[in-house]
Structure 1
Amino acid sequence: MTDPLAGPAPLDDLAAFREVAAGRLASFEHITVPGSPGLRRAGVVLCAVEHDGVPSVVLIRRAYRGRNAGQWGLPGGRLEPGETPEAAALRELDEEIGLAAGPADVLGRLDDFPATSGFAITPIVVALDEPGALLPSPDEVHSVHHVSLRRLAADDTPRWVPQTDGGSLLQMRLGPDWAVHAPTGAMLWQFREVVLLGRPVRVADFVQPDWTRH
């Protein structure tokens, strides 16, 4: 297996990333949250593109209105009747930030994340060679950001903050004054571990801050 931290591939080359990611996701047995009364489902996209010459994942800061106002997130949203998580995630990627992706761009998926907001969130991993211009929807997106695969894979990116109840809160430290918590932080951490580092892990029990319930 290729060492993801050695040489130019796959953290520094999108084509190499695609090959490694597809293989690791194909062998990863993802978990689907079973249906239950009141459960709502959503799909989000971990979209890898080349930005400033390096492979990066797209994150958004949600508009300062409505659900999840001002929170860090991945492009995505709730499933419409009859939609699969993949279809919903790709539709929302286009609607929210103007990136068009099809089934051939999907590399696989990670575990459903049971958010305290009542959603089971399915993360879909996508790679786009020529994404085109970003066209964020002002009704849904305040700003669009990129984090390099090397930043995600760096040893000092995950930080575990002890809690008074004895647990630990994950912070994905993506830059100065830029920390992302679960649910989004948990999905980024699983992407880092499973896809970038080849270490199968689970995240369903990660602590979620109280403000993510809304």
Structure 2
Amino acid sequence: MAQRHSAGLLLFRRTSGTLEVLLAHMGGPFWARRDAGGWSLPKGEYADGEAPLAAARREFVEELGLAAPDGEVLELGTVRQSGGKVVTAFAIEADLDPEAVVPGTFEMEWPRGSGRLQRFPEVDRVAWFDLTTADEKLVVAQREFLRRLEERVDTR
């Protein structure tokens, strides 16, 4: 089986001296009741030959319905999630109103085996979190991106 790759943008801002990150709660029936470990940076898969940063910007638009912000891009490297997918992340300092998000949708058979296709939002909510709270909410493997961001950003 071919290696699956995703790329995403981790927006961050400073609010009263506190570093905050924008996370998206994964949509669909599997994640509906899960909070801890049910959040992710806005990201998505990309094919060989597509630049990871270009994919991260494209996926930001697909998942949140908003243009990816401009600004200095910080490379946060890659992590391997428990399912084997390799995620590449980039951080950009920018502010964004979570209420402005218009998530994209995906279609899947639900309930499984029913033969019925249903449409679900890519993400069902978006919010800003301080790094301690974000560490509790994020998918386990992606928590490393928070540590890398904190190392790279002046939090004074």
TM > 0.5: yes
Write out the 4+ residue segments of structure 1 that deviate beyond 4 Å after TM superposition: 49-52, 129-132
Does 2:83 align with 1:101? no
Does 2:126 align with 1:144? yes
Gap change, CA 1:182 and 1:135, over 3 Å in 2: same
The alignment of Structure 1 onto Structure 2 pairs a total of residues equal to 134
Matching residue within 72, 77, 81 for 1:111: 77
Matching residue within 140, 148, 153 for 1:190: 148
The CA distance in 2 between the partners of 1:79 and 1:112, in whole Å, is: 14
Structure 1: where are the runs of 5+ without partners? Answer: 1-36, 158-172, 198-214
Of structures 1 and 2, the larger Rg is shown by: 1
1:3-82 superposed matches below 5 A: 38-49=2-13, 56-65=20-29, 70=34, 71-82=38-49
The CA distance in 2 between the partners of 1:51 and 1:94, in whole Å, is: 24
1:184 CA displacement: 2.1
CA contact (8 A) 1:51 1:146 kept: no
Q: TM-score, normalised by structure 2?
A: 0.68
* Aligned-partner residue type, residue 49 of structure 2: G
The CA distance in 2 between the partners of 1:194 and 1:55, in whole Å, is: 12
Structure 2: where are the runs of 5+ without partners? Answer: 105-119
More strand by share: 2
Q: Which has the higher contact order (CA 8 A, sep 6+)?
A: 2
